[in-house]
Amino acid sequence: MPEPLPAEDFIARMRSLKDRYWHDHPFHLRLHAGELEPRELRLWAANRWYYQRRIPQKDAAILANCPDLDVRRRWRERIVWHDGTHQGEGGAENWLRLAEAVGLTREEVLDERHVLPGTRFAVDAYVTFARARPWVEAVASGLTEMFSGALMARRLADMRSHYPWIAEEGFAYFTSRLEVVSDEGKSTLDIVVRNCPTLERQEAAIAALEFKCDVLRSILDTVDYYARKSP
Ligand SMILES: O=C(O)c1cc(C(=O)O)c2c(n1)C(=O)C(=O)c1cc(C(=O)O)[nH]c1-2
């Protein structure tokens, strides 16, 4: 049987997938350059809502499949972060505030009338992956968060400067996410490395992260296509 990769090489393989991440997707580049019309930002916020609202369900699937108490303890914090503990709190609520700040009503976000079929297919594929695959692969698929901190910091700065009409309250999602994201990346990586003792499992974890990068890019492909097409 082939030997597993040394941990550093395994980590390096996962980090090298940054090129496949969505930071340089044409839609993000237009967002960062201040080139988006308000209606394009609204389409983006309404579609990202679908991703945000499905993430706690994806995390619940991981909890359901994971027999490791220590991992479950850490993982359930993610659900609490997104859902909050009380009405009016949590990451999802903050995303709704961003959507309102770009000009959407809460109602039109919550009824998902702007969610495009491609977004739904991509995000649902992510949730299904977490339900159907071994839990460590689903955890590995969340490792895009290793790449997300720098992107979110840049997005926050660029949105503040290029879209000054967006009220500061709208950015609470990014400011609060940035506080948790770097730490999460490290502990998630640790869980994946410890729970992939064979080359086969390591390769499966790498494939899971590739899949997730493709999920994210697919969301923006569909948003970008319709954003450019609409009047
Ligand atoms: O704004 C971004 O670019 C970005 C990227 C990602 C990501 O890389 O999956 C997440 C988030 N944001 C995010 O806010 C978030 O809560 C989140 C959860 C997850 C996940 O897979 O569990 N990814 C991400």
**Over the chain, what HEC string results?**
CCCCCCHHHHHHHHHHHHHHCHHHCHHHHHHHCCCCCHHHHHHHHHHHHHHHHHHHHHHHHHHHHCCCHHHHHHHHHHHHHHHCCCCCCCHHHHHHHHHHHCCCCHHHHHCCCCCCHHHHHHHHHHHHHHHHCCHHHHHHHHHHHHHHHHHHHHHHHHHHHHCCCCCHHHHHHHHHHHHHHHHHHHHHHHHHHHCCCCHHHHHHHHHHHHHHHHHHHHHHHHHHHHHHHCC
- Kindly tell me the burial class for residue 86, based on how many C-beta atoms sit within 10 Å of its own C-beta (0-12, 13-18, 19 or more): exposed
CATH number at residue 149: 1.20.910.10
Number of domains in the chain: 1
Task: Give a yes or no: residue 4 inside a domain.
Answer: no
Residue 1: inside a domain: no
Report yes or no on 81 lying in a domain.
Answer: yes
Q: Which residue has the tokens 């919550």?
A: 110
Instruction: State residue 62's pLDDT score.
Output: 98
Q: Which atom of ligand 1 is nearest to the CA of 147?
A: 8
Residue nearest to ligand 1 atom 4, measured at CA: 148
Instruction: Give residue ranges with CB within 6 A of ligand 1.
Output: 55, 91, 142, 144-145, 148, 151-152, 177, 216
Distance 228 CA to ligand 1 centre (A): 24
Domain-embedded: residue 171:
yes
Domain contains 76 = yes
The residue to mutate among 22, 129, 144, having the most atoms of ligand 1 within 8 angstroms of its beta carbon, is: 144
pLDDT in tens, the chain (231 residues): 789 999 999 999 999 999 999 999 999 999 999 999 999 999 999 999 999 999 999 999 999 999 999 999 999 999 999 999 999 999 999 999 999 999 999 999 999 999 999 999 999 999 999 999 999 999 999 999 999 999 999 999 999 999 999 999 999 999 999 988 876 578 899 999 999 999 999 999 999 999 999 999 999 999 999 999 866
Which domain, by its residues, includes 206? 15-229
Distance of alpha carbon 231 from alpha carbon 227, whole angstroms: 8
Please check whether residue 10 lies inside any domain of the structure: no
What's the token pair of residue 98?
């961003």
Most ligand 1 atoms within 8 A of CB, residue of 145, 209, 214 to mutate: 145
* Domain membership flag for residue 142: yes
User: Would 7 be classed as within a structural domain?
Assistant: no
Which ligand 1 atom sits closest to the C-alpha of 59?
22
